[in-house]
Amino acid sequence: MSNSIFGGEKRPILTIVMDGVGYTERTAGNAVYAADTPTLDMLAEKYPRFLLQAHGTAVGLPSDDDMGNSEVGHNALGAGQVFAQGAKLVSNAIESGKIYTSDSWQTLIGGVKANGSALHFLGLFSDGNVHSHIDHLKAMVAQAKNDGVGKVRIHILLDGRDVGETSALEYVCPFEDYLATLRDDSFDVCIASGGGRMQITMDRYEANWAMVEKGWKTHVLGEGRTFASAKEAIDTLRAETGAIDQDLPPFVIAADGKPVGTVEDGDSVIFFNFRGDRSIEISKAFEAGADFDKFDRVRVPNVLYAGMLEYDGDAHIPSRYLVSPPEISGTMGEFLVNKGVKQLAISETQKYGHVTYFWNGNRSGKFDEELEEYIEIPSDVVPFEQRPWMKCAEITDVLIEKLYSGEFGYLRVNFPNGDMVGHTGSFAATKISMEALDLCLARILKAVDDVKGVAIITSDHCNADEM
For residues 349 and 10, give the distance between their C-alpha atoms in angstroms, rounded to a whole number: 31
For residues 441 and 419, give the distance between their C-alpha atoms in angstroms, rounded to a whole number: 17
Task: Give the containing element (helix H, strand E) for 309.
Answer: strand 304-309
Q: Give whole-number Cα distances, 427 to 126, 414, 465, in Å.
A: 24, 21, 10
For residues 422 and 416, give the distance between their C-alpha atoms in angstroms, rounded to a whole number: 10
Comparing C-alpha atoms, which of 79, 88, 72, 233 is closest to residue 156?
Answer: 233
Q: Active-site residue among 2, 4, 63, 70? A: 70
Beta-carbon count within 10 A of 434 CB: 26
Task: Give the containing element (helix H, strand E) for 196.
Answer: strand 188-196
Q: Decide: helix, strand or coil at residue 216.
A: helix
Q: Catalytic annotation on 459?
A: no
Which amino acid type is present at position 389?
Answer: W
Beta-carbon count within 10 A of 26 CB: 9
- Cis, bond preceding 62 (omega within 30 deg of 0): no
Beta-carbon count within 10 A of 456 CB: 11
Q: Decide: helix, strand or coil at residue 66.
A: coil
Beta-carbon count within 10 A of 97 CB: 10
Which amino acid type is present at position 146?
Answer: N
**Bridging pattern class, strands 188-196 and 251-255:** antiparallel
For residues 159 and 244, give the distance between their C-alpha atoms in angstroms, rounded to a whole number: 9
Beta-carbon contacts of residue 321 (< 8 Å; ≥ 6 apart): 104, 306, 307, 308, 309, 310, 311
Comparing C-alpha atoms, which of 209, 192, 381, 217 is closest to residue 278?
Answer: 209
Q: How far is CA 172 from the centre of its chain?
A: 22
Please compute Rg for the chain using Cα positions.
23
Beta-carbon contacts of residue 118 (< 8 Å; ≥ 6 apart): 112, 151, 152, 153, 261, 263, 264, 267, 268
Q: How far is CA 2 from the centre of its chain?
A: 36
Which amino acid type is present at position 42?
Answer: M
Comparing C-alpha atoms, which of 411, 407, 294, 406 is closest to residue 347?
Answer: 411
List, by residue number, the catalytic residues: 70
